[in-house]
Structure 1
Amino acid sequence: MLLKKILLLLGIFFSTTACAFAEDGIIDTGDTAWVTMATALVMIMTPAGLALFYGGMSRYKNMLNTIAMTLVAYCLASIVWVGWGYSLAFGESSNLFIGNLKHLFLNGIDIHSVSGTIPTILFVLFQMTFACISIALILGSVVDRMKFSSWIIFTILWVTFVYTPVCNWAWGGGWMHKIGALDFAGGNVVHINAGVSGLVLALFLGKRHGYKKEAMIPSSVAFTALGAGFLWFGWFGFNAGSALAADGIAASAFMVTNTAAAMAGLAWLLVEWQYSKKPTLLGLASGVIAGLVGITPAAGFVSLTGALVIGVVSGIIGFFGVAVLKHKLGYDDSLDAFGIHGLCGMWGAIATGFFANPSITEGAAGLFYGNPKQVWIQFLSIIGTIVFSATATFIVVMTTKILTNGIRVDSDDELAGLDNALHGERAFEIE
């Protein structure tokens, strides 16, 4: 009996000590396992999900080029991130606009470094996947007409000089964080940033040959739908993983992410069916992505009600951004990166200011929960992102043009198709 009491007291002591250590930054195995899985989920979104989604929407003669540009963007962003991107985004700095180079090539970070309750190396990897998909999203605005070499240079410069500052503002202790802007998983950092940058790049490149004069039929809507499925699956890591813990907030983010995506897919389908008299698979898949974009900044802050509203409106905004606004204004956003990611990202960011529920995340309250000021804060963060992204991307584009002697492919190559002209390959062999 005495031995049992001693063992019981030792057990209580060590369990209490372990809890105290966990609060002070000791690795939690459950959190680490979940964020490891979430990182893998987000990783698959770019070289598999987005490659299929964009590849299927591009024309047959450019399908392989689209997939290649997606894959090379992932490779390049991965190296930039571990080289200097992470340090610029998350290195502690006295200013509110950019980090430092203290962690150049992950200097000072080893297997014993801890961020919260997970290894810092894992946090670096998780954030890396966000940088990778952000640059890849921009590709949707410019497929069919950008030089591969220019895309490589643009990717390196954009991740360095456009992505890392906005990431620092929202998540690295910058000015957005200081004013209390809410961006759970990347409304500003990923979607508005990439969508606006894509529009700037598309306007600079100009319209594709034959735009509005000839049919530009997707090579495989089936591939696009499959890609949407991969993206939907990976987005659970994107949003629920951003809790950086295996807890109730992660579970809630998982639930509202799925709900908003499903609601937006149905909303787009019904609006399209009424508008054009045809319920298309491409529209349904695009609606799902619109809903995923819209819920991203709000995922850890809103309840089911907020998710339903955000989903419905995202589907409607996405459809009219793609089917109406683009054609009214006449710009050629090839695969609608701005129409879906830019516009729905803005809606999601502002909607967070309305629907943020303090019962989900303590201290995060929106207009409908007694804090109208949050709407204004969200608006400021959106405007700041738009202005910076547009300006910085223009500078990056001009620099890329100088370094690569122009960024648009030759007219003959564009007409013939970039798969064979640039890569000497074809996506499929046709007898």
Structure 2
Amino acid sequence: MSGADTAWVMVATALVLFMTLPGLALFYGGLVRARNVLSVFMQCFAVACLMSLLWLLFGYSMAFGSGDGFWGGLGKFALIGITPDDLRGTIPEICFFAFQMTFAIITPALILGAFVERINFAFVLSFCALWLLAVYAPVTHWIWGGGMMADGGIFGAVGTKDFAGGIVVHETAALAALLLAVMVGPRAKRHTPPHAPVLVAIGAGMLWVGWFGFNGGSQLAADGGAAMAITVTHISAAAASLSWALWERIKFGKSSLIGLVTGTIAGLASITPASGYVGPLEALLIGAIAGILCQEAVILLRDRLKIDDSLDVFAVHGVGGIFGTIMIAALGHGAWIAQLGALIMVGVYTIVLSWIIAKLVGLVFPMRVSSEDENSGLDLAAHGERAYDHTS
């Protein structure tokens, strides 16, 4: 065991949890109307709690157990038999479990942004629970757990390269989000402005800081590779923030705060899969392109296709994560067949399984709240609370 590696991964674990609670909660909460902000916080916190327990009982074993190429089996159910002295590489396996648990928390939490302000709370929890086990855990095993897409798998000696989750996290969550946004339908009032841009900016800042643990921690060591991952993560975020703001000014005459920080998230999502392989100048290129590419994806989905992916989960996280995964091959750090093949296979699997899960859960809990509850706001209708004395 390396004390330095263990200490760094424990810090990274705290940083990744910080991304969801409170980072993502603030980022998403500020983007909705005031009457729905508590419902977003409630969903983020409840999903974090439920995913933690499911990861302990089943998810970790399914993702990182020694099963077959498809899943890891249940040999590590509830961490039975795993002691503090058991190692995974140079860190205790229990530390690795905790680090990966924070990924299992934020991935379904990202989906929440697609259907805010109109979704049934019971549907959210039920869908995320089944989705974690049926989609996230198997895909994690395929790429990170030594499964069929890893080195020596279906793509040969050079397996799929996804350092911190362009496919495992961002593609899966974003495709599920897009599907659910289409299934649940648009909000009654689609074009209401964010109620608290200041909360959005604070949340984005927390996500930026937390992302150092997300990408740097994925090195699982306190070494130069982790330092490079953190550096390229920051460069990509900075470049995408500025390119988004510049492109927004060119097209619309003004650069907005919401646009700038959305560009930050686009740059972070895009560098995630490549952060263990590229250098600073390559990161600058990835971020600069991502700021424009993801902004155009937002316009395409929202204005032309009229899909109410409320908080632009697919356009930012999905397009960004897929773009970064492709850039690994484009920049010569991975094989085209492994990168594109994994994107396609995981994409099809995610869409099919997510649709099946949504239909099954819908048989028990309605997906959408009533029009009366949607109009009055989910804070009061679903949770009996208000975020502010006077809501808009």
Shorter chain as normaliser: what TM range? over 0.9
Query: Counterparts of 2:143 and 2:309 in 1: how far apart (Å)?
Result: 27
Q: How many residues are aligned here? A: 385
Deviation at 1:109, TM superposition (A): 1.0
Q: What secondary structure, in the 3-state scheme, does the structure 2 residue paired with 1:185 have?
A: coil
What is the aligned partner in structure 2 of residue 125 from structure 1? Answer: 98
Matched residue, 2:115: 142
Please give the secondary structure, in 2, of the residue aligned with 1:53: helix
For 1:275-308, what per-residue CA distance to the aligned partner results, in whole angstroms no more than 9, with x for missing partners?
1111000000000000000000000000112101
Secondary structure in structure 2 of the residue aligned to 1:300: coil
Distance in 1, Cα, partners of 2:57 & 2:174: 25
The C-alpha deviation readout for 1:190-228, integer Å capped at 9, x for no partner, is: 0000000000111111111133xxx41111011000000
Q: Is 316-325 or 409-418 further displaced after alignment?
A: 316-325
Partner residue of 1:102 out of 72, 75, 86? 75
Q: Report the Cα offset of residue 50 of structure 1.
A: 0.1
Query: Bigger radius of gyration, 1 or 2?
Result: 1
Q: How well do the aligned residues superpose, as a CA RMSD in angstroms? A: 1.1
**Deviation by residue 1:66-111 (Cα, 9 ceiling, x = unmatched):** 11101111111111101100000011113x1111001111112111
Residue identity matched to 2:139:
V
Partner SS for 1:403: coil
Distance 1:72 1:151 in 2: 10
Letter in 2 for 1:194: A
| Residue in structure 2 matched with residue 408 of structure 1 by the alignment | 368
Which of 145, 154, 160 in structure 2 is aligned with 1:181?
160
Sequence identity of aligned pairs in percent? 45
Q: Which amino acid aligns with 1:388?
A: Y
Offset, 1:185: 0.2
Q: What is aligned with 2:50?
A: 76
Q: Distance in 1 between matches of 2:325 and 2:359?
A: 29
Higher-RCO chain (CA-CA 8 Å, sequence separation at least 6): 2
Give the equivalent residue in structure 1 for 2:175. Answer: 196
1:354: how far off?
1.9
Letter in 2 for 1:243: Q
Does the 8 Å CA contact 2:238/2:267 hold for their aligned counterparts? yes
CA shift, 1:428, in A, is 1.5
Measure the CA separation in 1 of the matches of 2:328 and 2:32.
33
SS of residue paired to 1:279: coil
Pairing 1:298-313 to 2, within 5 Å after superposition: 298-313=274-289
- Counterpart of 1:257 (choices 228, 233, 237) is 233
Per-residue CA shift, 1:202-261, capped at 9, x if unaligned?
A: 1111111133xxx41111011000000000000000000000000111010010000000
8 Å CA contact retained: 2:163, 2:274: yes
Structure 1 Cα separation of the partners of residues 59 and 28 of structure 2: 26
Large movers: runs of 4+ above 3 Å: none
Residue type of the partner of 1:423? H
SS in 1 for 2:194: coil
Q: CA deviation at 1:355?
A: 2.3
Please give the per-residue CA displacement for 1:313-372, whole angstroms capped at 9, x wherever unaligned: 11111111112333211111000001101111110100011225xxxxxxxx34xxxxxx
TM value normalised by structure 1: 0.88
For 1:17-416, list aligned pairs within 5 A: 27-94=1-68, 96-177=69-150, 178=153, 179=155, 180-211=159-190, 215-356=191-332, 365-366=333-334, 374-404=335-365, 406-416=366-376
8 Å CA contact 1:294–1:311 kept in 2: the answer is: yes
Contact 2:228–2:279 (CA under 8 A) maintained in structure 1: yes
1:326–1:339 contact (8 Å) kept in structure 2? no
State the secondary structure of the residue aligned to 1:208.
coil
Tell me the SS of whatever aligns to 2:242: helix
TM-score (norm 2): 0.96
